[in-house]
Structure formats: C-alpha cells, structure tokens
Amino acid sequence: MKYGVVYKHKPNNKINGTFFYCFEYFQFLKKFVDVKFYIVDISEKDINLISKIFTEKYTSNFNDVVPIKIIDLYKLKLDQTLILDVMTFYDCKEFLTNQIHCYSNNDHSMFRYKNNRTVTYYGSYSQYQKFDIFSHIKFNFDIFRKLTKNGHGVFISALNQEYIRCNINRWQQEFGRPIIIKKSHSGQGNMFEHIDGVHYVHTQRDTNNRIIPEAFFYGKTVTIEDLHPEIDSIKLRYEDILANGLKNYTLTEDDIIIQAMIGNS
C-alpha cells in the first residue's frame, strides 16, 4: 500500500493553518504506515522557509516531505490519500488515485468520481461544511515544542488583516504591551514564546481556527472581540474547550480519519 498526505501550496498565503494540520496528520500517520507528505507546486525557496518555521514549532523534522508537480501526482498511484482542504482536492482531483479522504473545510459541490476512485468527505460544522462522516479536524499536540520562554506580548489574530492594521494603536493602548501580528510570508517560529495572550477579532467566518486551541494548549489567555454574528469554529471551539478541555481536538489513534487511512474503518 502507498500512502500520502497531499497539499497544494498557496504562494499568496504561504503560512496557513491547513499546512500545519497536514504536517501534524502526516507525522501522526508515520507511527502506523510508510507515508510521505507531498507538497504540490512549491518552490525550493518556500520549502526552505516552511522547513525553518516547522522546525521551530515542532519536535519532528521535515523528512519525508516531497515537493512535487501536480502532473506527477498520478504517477505515484497512491492507494490512500489524505487531503485537508477542498481547494487542494479540487485542484488535484484528476491526478489522484484509488481512495481519497478529504476534510471539507469549506462548502463545495461534493464531487464524486465516475470510475473506481472514491472520495470520502469529513467535517464537523454543518452550517458551512458538506461531508459524509462527522469528524473534528484535530491537533497532533505530541509534536509541539515546549516553550523555552514566555513573553509578554499579545498576538492579534483575525482573517481581516486590514482591520488589524487600522486598530493596532488602539490595542497597544488597551493592552499596554507589545502587539504581534501574523506574518504570512515569513513567519516567526514559535510565536507562543513571545506572548502571554491571544486576542481574536472575529470579523468573518473562520472555518477551522487553530489559534484558539493552540493558545489554550500553551496556557495563554484568550479573549475574543466578536464583530461577526455567525456561529462558526471561533465560538464553538472556544466554548467547547472552556467546557471540556482539548479532548475533542487532540489527535489519537482512534480518530476516524486516521483509522480510515490505515485501513481499519
């Protein structure tokens, strides 16, 4: 059997949550099967950037990560393929083989193959995710690096980056300590070593937010500035973790997607 995690690189959003999820699932799957992480259409420069950031964030190294051209995916003849965003799936679907497992992070047309290839969709937020099987997307906390220091900054997170830029001065006065924001084209290693709090500004739908579970994992203070009425992963994850801890977001061997990939479903 040939196993692969596949992700299509996004040059305009090089450092993003899906990339981290893919690496974490890939590292977890390595416990059970011989699997590779195929990154589609990524440059050598960006591979070096991602490798540096992942090495700073995780205890696992960047081995078995394979840059590949989209047209070469079909030649792999993978038996089991894991994809964690629908954009990657729809861009690559004609080059995939056999059984594909796709996390429906956004709404889509529920494409089905008309030959012997199959795709199974997973999701947990029925308001905006179409799926066959219910499953939260989870975190491989086992490979998260322990913090070597604790800073006193506040990380401001929002999908609307313009709103952040326009309000930095207000937050600096409000929090009275350094403000840190996302650097989507360069990154900054393990950002949690530089902060003691996360302030999430809810300006629009956030489909599978990472920053809130990670902040709770590292024991950081989490505050939410709620400017958007939709019930999405922000409100649901925040309230769930306050009530139940991180158990619903921690990757384990009995996870439905892991079991499907290794052939035990």
Residue-wise pLDDT tens digits, 155-208:
999 999 899 999 999 999 999 999 998 765 555 567 899 999 999 999 999 988
- Domain residue extents for the chain: 3-138+250-261, 147-249
**Token digits for 127?**
């308001």
CA dihedral (257, 97, 54, 15) in degrees, to 10, reads: -100
**Sheet hosting strand 133-134, strand order edge to edge:** 65-68, 35-40, 3-8, 80-83, 99-103, 118-123, 133-134
pLDDT value at residue 185 = 52
CATH class of 3-138+250-261: alpha beta
Q: Is 250 left (phi over 0), alpha (psi -120 to 50) or beta?
A: beta
- What are 84-128's pLDDT values in tens digits? 999 999 999 999 999 999 999 988 999 999 999 999 999 999 888
Burial class (CB in 10 A: 0-12, 13-18, 19+), 176: exposed
Chain-centre distance for alpha carbon 45: 21
Enter the pTM of the model.
Answer: 0.93
Measured N-to-C along each axis, helices 44-57 and 17-29 cross at an angle, to the nearest 10 degrees, of 70
Same fold yes or no, 3-138+250-261 and 147-249: yes
- What are 217-242's pLDDT values in tens digits? 999 999 999 999 988 999 999 999 99
Structural domain 147-249, CATH architecture: 3-Layer(aba) Sandwich (3.40)
